[in-house]
Amino acid sequence: MYLTMNRFRVNADQTEAFEAVWKSRDSHLKTVDGFVSFHLMKGEEADGVRLYASHTMWRDHAAFEAWTKSEAFRAAHKGAKSSADMYDGPPVLEVFESVQELS
């Protein structure tokens, strides 16, 4: 398994708009080979900023890399810069490779 996580600091007055963007967009993920699951997580709010994290699970690193180079990736991310005023800074990408799985 390979987990990619983007962490977002969203201005508190923009949380509804932020969530609406994510819920209404066509991510194209379900059509991508190696995609396992996606979750948008909402965290705590402090000092006028709400934390969010998007978690995307992939079969392996190669599947994630193929996604980032695909037409589906470009389509899913078009217009992302137009909502920059929602954020308190840029998103932070973190990636993790599985070393143990229990299910």
| Predicted pLDDT of residue 7 | 97
Structure tokens at 68: 């980032």
Tell me the CATH architecture of domain 2-97.
2-Layer Sandwich (3.30)
Does 82 have pLDDT greater than 70?
no
Domain ranges of the chain: 2-97
- Distance between CA atoms of 24 and 93, rounded to whole angstroms? 22
| Predicted pLDDT of residue 11 | 96
pLDDT 10s digits, 30-70? 889 999 999 999 999 999 999 999 999 999 999 999 999 98
End-to-end CA distance of the chain: 13
> pTM for the full model?
0.85
